[in-house]
């Protein structure tokens, strides 16, 4: 693992953690000078924790850490959280909705396989996903502190406010500094990639609608600079949000078009186009992410009344209408809501 750091803004350092062996080649963590010490936002890969600890000791001149804030549950962001917490004796904070995902994962590992059966995951893919889950739950310290919408981290460079931005995960958070106009965006808003928007079996949670609304919320804040978890800082939020709305409109149209007869989640994912190649050529992690993203778009179509879920013990879908214009109308309504 290779880590380099740079002071991007007053009292804000970016630590770029690089890897040649992980699913993504790098992740950006951010170190904030707070009133009582230092706060680290995200901790990188599991295998980078030793190098991260050494880098933190250098950047903070041995002052240590007060707190770690995790933007979300994923292993490239939370991978070093247990080791960093144990080394510096600091708290690790995450939104309650993602803390709940940790508990949900533990239930799956102890025998609750209903979700796997519902989406048609079996055989080697199921075992691969279970092994991935087992690895991930060990990344976190035994106690996670809840962090919520509106919580504030004060520092000499101004206050950083927590903004709940569900969609990429139910408990994803960003941090915004009004005085700097800076947003630490995690995986919610990236300069080049389209964030995965996965389905989770949580009553009342619509991942795609939540994600799109979260994008609009960030756009309304009008940050002058976005500090993403992957890639370089960027500023044209409006254009990026336009692109993402267009991307998901195309994905919804493609998903509806793929509903010829009744089709399950894997069948849907197999019929969709993916940036990393054909579904059958993807690796296990990409298989899993593609299936969950296909489900989130299928569920959005059900909500619109363009499709229905059929079957009792298996998540299968059937188109009710191929009114593709309805998709565009709904996203346009979301993007430009009528004045109240």
Q: What is the DSSP string of 3-23?
A: EEEEEEETTEEEEEEE-SSSS
From 189, 212, 235, the end of a domain falls on 235
Last residue of a domain, one of 235, 265, 289: 235
Do 31 and 164 reside in the same domain of the chain? yes
% of residues, the chain, pLDDT over 90: 73
Average pLDDT, the chain: 92
Residue 193 token pair: 């990639």
Q: Provide mean pLDDT across the span 91-114.
A: 86
Task: Note whether 194 and 166 are same-domain residues.
Answer: yes
195 plus 268 within the same structural domain:
no
Query: Which region among 7-11, 102-106, 255-259 has the lowest average model confidence (pLDDT)?
Result: 102-106
Considering the domain boundaries, does residue 311 fall inside one?
Answer: yes
> In terms of domains, do 146 and 247 share one?
no
Determine the Cα–Cα distance for residues 54 and 152; give it in Å rounded to an integer.
27
Does residue 157 or residue 252 have the better pLDDT?
252
Confidence band of 69 (pLDDT split at 50, 70, 90): very high
> Is 20 within the bounds of a domain?
yes
What's the pLDDT at 324?
A: 97
Asked if residue 21 has pLDDT above 70, the reply is no
Residues 33, 156, single domain; the answer is: yes
Q: Is residue 91 part of a domain?
A: yes
Statement to judge: residues 23 and 116 lie in one domain: yes
CATH of the domain at 286: 1.10.10
Q: Is 149 exposed, middle or buried (0-12, 13-18, 19+ CB in 10 A)?
A: exposed
- pTM of this prediction exceeds 0.85: yes
Residues 96 and 118: their CA atoms lie apart, in Å, by: 25
CATH number (domain holding residue 101) = 3.60.15.10
Query: Domain count of the chain?
Result: 2
Last residue of a domain, one of 202, 235, 268: 235
Confidence of residue 129 (pLDDT cuts 50, 70, 90): confident
**271 and 211 share a domain?**
no
337 occurs within a structural domain: no
* 104 vs 304, more confident: 304
153 and 284 part of one domain: no
Same domain, 208 and 275: no
Give the range of the structural domain holding residue 136, as residue numbers without chain letter.
Answer: 2-235
How many of the other CB atoms lie within 10 Å of CB of 71?
29
Asked if 9 and 52 sit in the same domain, the reply is yes
Does 168 lie in the same domain as 112? yes
Q: Do 246 and 152 reside in the same domain of the chain? A: no
pLDDT score for 249: 98
């Amino acid at each position: 693992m290779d880590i380099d750091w740079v002071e991007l803004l007053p009292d804000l350092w970016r630590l770029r953690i690089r890897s040649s062996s992980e699913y993504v080649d790098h992740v950006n963590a951010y170190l904030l000078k707070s009133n009582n010490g230092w706060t680290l936002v995200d901790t990188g890969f599991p295998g980078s924790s030793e190098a991260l600890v050494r880098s933190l000791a250098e950047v903070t001149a041995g002052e240590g850490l007060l707190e770690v804030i995790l933007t979300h549950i994923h292993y490239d962001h939370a991978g070093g959280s247990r080791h960093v917490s144990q080394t510096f004796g600091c708290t690790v904070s995450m939104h309650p909705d993602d803390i709940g995902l940790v508990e949900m994962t533990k239930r799956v590992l102890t025998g609750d396989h209903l979700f796997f059966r519902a989406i048609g995951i079996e055989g080697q893919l199921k075992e691969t996903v279970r092994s991935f889950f087992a690895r991930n739950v060990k990344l976190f310290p035994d106690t996670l502190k809840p962090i919520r919408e509106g919580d504030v981290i004060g520092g000499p460079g101004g206050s950083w406010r927590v903004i709940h931005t569900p969609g990429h995960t139910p408990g994803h958070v960003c941090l915004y500094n009004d005085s700097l106009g800076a947003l630490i965006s995690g995986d919610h808003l990236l300069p080049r990639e389209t964030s995965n928007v996965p389905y989770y079996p949580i009553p009342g949670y619509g991942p795609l609608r939540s994600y799109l609304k979260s994008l609009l919320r960030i756009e309304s804040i009008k940050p002058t600079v976005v500090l993403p978890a992957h890639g370089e800082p960027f500023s044209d939020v409006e254009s990026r949000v336009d692109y993402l709305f267009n991307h998901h409109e195309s994905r919804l149209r493609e998903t509806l078009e793929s509903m010829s007869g009744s089709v399950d989640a894997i069948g849907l994912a197999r019929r969709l186009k993916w940036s990393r190649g054909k579904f059958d050529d993807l690796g296990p992690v990409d298989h899993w992410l593609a299936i969950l993203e296909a489900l989130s778009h299928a569920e959005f179509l059900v909500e619109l009344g363009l499709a229905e879920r059929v079957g009792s013990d298996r998540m299968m879908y059937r188109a009710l209408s191929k009114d593709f214009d309805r998709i565009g109308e709904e996203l346009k309504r979301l993007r430009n809501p009528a004045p109240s």
